[in-house]
Amino acid sequence: MAPPNADHSRELARGGVASFLGAIISAVAGFALTVVLARTLGGSGSGVVLQAIAIFTIVLSFARSGMDSTAIWIMPRLASADVKQIRSALGVMFLTTVIVGILLGAATVLVAPVFGLSGDSDASQLSQAISVIGWFLPVGALLLVALSATRGLGGVWPYVSVGSIALPASRPLIVAVMAGLAGSLVLVSVGWVLPLPFALIAALIVLRFQVRRHERATGERGHCRATPALSRSIWSYAFPRMISAGLEQSVLWLDVLIVGIVGGSAAAGIYGGASRFIAAGLIVDTSIRVVISPRFSTLLGQKRIPEVAELYRTAATWLVLFSTPIYVILALFGPVVLGWLGPEFAQGSTALAILCAGAVLTFTAGNIHSVLLMSGRSGWGAFNKAVVLVINIVGNLLLIPVIGIVGAALTWALSMLVDAALAAIEVRKFVGIGIGFRAISYALLVPVATVGVPSVILVLTMGPTLASMLFAIGIGGVLLVAWCALDRERLQLQHLSLFARQVRPPE
């Protein structure tokens, strides 16, 4: 007989594979975008576009008003207990997002000229780019909320197909066309936001079918007007999450802006190119988080804490096991992968190695942030991000003028570690779930031994070359697969193999 957590692990495996495929495509598209920017615009030009994207992303995290996380938190609970309130909950979330998005979009356009005063030779183009793409903020915010609602209602495939495949895959193509036809940094930036309205239409169509499906299952049509209690519940959860998400994206992107302000657009382009490679390792994190967050919400809402703990530790084991090899290769062969962007980008290899080490250490906490948020404690998440943002700003301002982009990398790594540590402490105290250090340490040992050791040997004997990197990937991959096959029970991989033999589309 299967253990109690077997169904949850199989569900994680089924949804995780779908999300994993989408995350791979998204990461490849992100890499393609970085290459297109670097190859067509160079360090300075790509630095301008990346800074514009950074501003857009930071403001967008506030513009979505915390409603994306709220949708993932509340939709599974309404779908299982009160289907009649799904429509009204969506109405509250959408209306709030539209209002906040319009206000922040207008504010961004008004503030844009300030970015032209830095003294950098490309500052005026950065200012113009921000003033144009700022108008797309309400659309981007509504898109993220709609996609999150599809996740909360059990739709991994719609979320993946629109948010992880269609949207990111279209951006490199449009940006390349804009860069080739006009060469204007402003139009290139517009090319990055241009797919948003089309993605929003697709997400809303999918969401409409999902809502109707849930209502047909219960035979009841939902209400369009939310009760005061439901509205208060949504806003009370969303407001701290709005602050938290805004601070989180500020931590992720602020270093690019500070590097641009202190070191110029060329330095921002080099550091931005290096930091974007970190998204490769986020493939595993994203694919697991997309599936696991709604499940956490359902189980926590039903007070099934032991099952949450088991699912969390299984996901953490997989996260460390499968993401670490990516970061090992990136860290040891940084000059090779950054060289693909252009000769000037290779000087970011040290920063890339530091970013990779910070990411691996952070992932040992697993999806701890998802547990904290899905337990309803978005306020503590906001507190954590505020602390981390202060560390990020102070660290960047102190270290970048002294050691350049290496200082930005060190600051980012420290910020991520502090963020994970705070969340782990809070989850232990409020939810009663601790990190399974023994299992996670073993999961970390496996890729370090199978991929890390051969890679170090090859770097020392052949140097960081394309040939040695390919050998490292081949040898390390074979050893990793062999170890996982021989020790799949301890690594809890039996459900992945089950899914590989019984692939079936989601219902």
For residue range 194-221, list pLDDT tens digits in order: 999 999 999 999 898 888 888 887 777 7
| pLDDT at 294 (0 to 100) | 72
| pLDDT at 250 (0 to 100) | 78
Residue 395 · residue 414 · CB < 8 Å: yes
Retrieve residue 505's tokens: 């589309």
| pLDDT at 507 (0 to 100) | 35
Q: Which among 341, 52, 42 is positioned nearest to 190, based on CA atoms? A: 52
What is the rounded distance in angstroms from the CA atom of residue 302 to the CA atom of residue 405?
46
Rounding to the nearest 10 degrees, give the CA dihedral for residues 294, 298, 301, 302: -160
The count of other CB atoms within 10 Å of the CB of residue 456 is: 14
Per residue in 305-354, pLDDT (tens digit) is 888 888 888 888 888 888 899 999 999 999 998 888 877 888 889 999 99
With respect to residue 507, please indicate whether it lies within any of the assigned structural domains: no
Per residue in 385-438, pLDDT (tens digit) is 889 889 988 998 999 888 988 999 999 899 989 988 998 899 888 888 877 778
- Mark residue 436 as left, alpha or beta (left: phi above 0; alpha: psi -120 to 50; beta: remaining): beta
With respect to residue 505, please indicate whether it lies within any of the assigned structural domains: no
Is it the case that residue 298 has pLDDT exceeding 80?
A: no
- List the single range of 101-105, 223-227, 494-498 with lowest mean pLDDT: 494-498
Choose between 396 and 493: higher pLDDT: 396
* Percent of the residues in the chain that have a pLDDT greater than 90, as a whole number: 29
Retrieve residue 455's tokens: 């890679």
**Longest C-alpha distance within the chain, in Å?**
69
**Per-residue 3-state assignment (H helix, E strand, C coil) for 282-316:** HHHHHHHHHHHHHHHHHHHHCCCHHHHHHHHHHHH
Amino acid (one-letter) located at 252? L
What is the rounded distance in angstroms from the CA atom of residue 368 to the CA atom of residue 311?
11
With respect to residue 436, please indicate whether it lies within any of the assigned structural domains: yes
| pLDDT at 118 (0 to 100) | 64
What is the rounded distance in angstroms from the CA atom of residue 74 to the CA atom of residue 149?
9
With residues binned 3-state (H G I as helix, E B as strand, rest as coil), the percentages for the chain, rounded to 5, are 85, 0, 15
| pLDDT at 2 (0 to 100) | 40
Whose tokens are 């290779």? That residue is 346
Amino acid (one-letter) located at 7? D
- The residue segments making up the domain with residue 96 are 6-498
Rounding to the nearest 10 degrees, give the CA dihedral for residues 495, 496, 501, 503: 100
What is the rounded distance in angstroms from the CA atom of residue 175 to the CA atom of residue 41?
11
Retrieve residue 68's tokens: 């994306």
Is it the case that residue 495 has pLDDT exceeding 60?
A: no
| pLDDT at 505 (0 to 100) | 34
What is the rounded distance in angstroms from the CA atom of residue 433 to the CA atom of residue 445?
23
CA distances from residue 187 to 124, 160, 183, 190, 270 in whole angstroms, order as listed: 14, 27, 8, 5, 21
CA distances from residue 321 to 9, 13, 197, 327, 490 in whole angstroms, order as listed: 16, 14, 37, 11, 12
Ranges of H-type helices in 404-465: 405-430, 437-447, 453-462
With respect to residue 80, please indicate whether it lies within any of the assigned structural domains: yes
Is it the case that residue 5 has pLDDT exceeding 90?
A: no
| pLDDT at 17 (0 to 100) | 61
* Percent of the residues in the chain that have a pLDDT greater than 70, as a whole number: 90
For range 372-397, the mean pLDDT: 84
| pLDDT at 59 (0 to 100) | 92
With respect to residue 461, please indicate whether it lies within any of the assigned structural domains: yes
What total number of domains does the chain contain?
1
What is the rounded distance in angstroms from the CA atom of residue 423 to the CA atom of residue 373?
10
Extract the runs of DSSP E, i.e. beta strands, from 325-448.
none
| pLDDT at 197 (0 to 100) | 95
What is the rounded distance in angstroms from the CA atom of residue 76 to the CA atom of residue 154?
8
**Average per-residue pLDDT for the chain:** 83
| pLDDT at 352 (0 to 100) | 92
Residue 492 · residue 9 · CB < 8 Å: yes
Rounding to the nearest 10 degrees, give the CA dihedral for residues 362, 363, 366, 372: 30
| pLDDT at 498 (0 to 100) | 41
Distance spanning both ends of the chain, measured CA to CA: 25
CA angle 451, 413, 277 (to 5 degrees): 55
